[in-house]
Amino acid sequence: GENVEQHPSTLSVQEGDSAVIKCTYSDSASNYFPWYKQELGKRPQLIIDIRSNVGEKKDQRIAVTLNKTAKHFSLHITETQPEDSAVYFCAALSGGSYIPTFGRGTSLIVHP
């Protein structure tokens, strides 16, 4: 089955810095990669996703890149703000199973 590794487990940055979270996956059939943000005690919320037919996708201060050959994808947050502080989860899905495999999460702390 699919295995998703996520790093780092904790990331501490100063407000205004960039943050990068990296994930690797094992199943070459995976073709959909969503990222979720989960604030303390709240539901995971989809913030951006990417499909295997593109290499990069941007939405304002967040972007995701995908390297299919190396089987890794990354979340990039620029100009971080304290409200970006949360746990971020990556996931990988293959079109055939519809079952996402989640990474273990990255706790992002943005210091004012």
Partner 1 sequence: EAGVVQSPRYKIIEKKQPVAFWCNPISGHNTLYWYRQNLGQGPELLIRYENEEAVDDSQLPKDRFSAERLKGVDSTLKIQPAELGDSAVYLCASSWQGAKAVEQYFGPGTRLTVT
Question: In 26-79, which ranges are E strands?
Answer: 30-38, 45-51, 56-59, 62-67, 72-77
Shortest distance in whole angstroms from residue 81 CB to partner 1: 23
Residue 57 CB, shortest distance to partner 1, in Å, is 13
Q: Which residue, 98 or 112, is less far from partner 1 as judged by CB?
A: 98
Nearest to partner 1 of 58, 79 (CB atom): 58
Contacting positions for partner 1 (CB under 8 A): 6, 31-32, 34, 36, 42-46, 49, 51, 89, 91, 93-95, 97-100, 102-105
Pairing of strands 56-59, 62-67: antiparallel
- What does each C-alpha distance from 40 to 4, 21, 27, 70, 90 come to in angstroms? 22, 19, 30, 32, 17
User: To the nearest whole angstrom, how small is the minimum distance from the Cβ of residue 16 to partner 1?
Assistant: 28
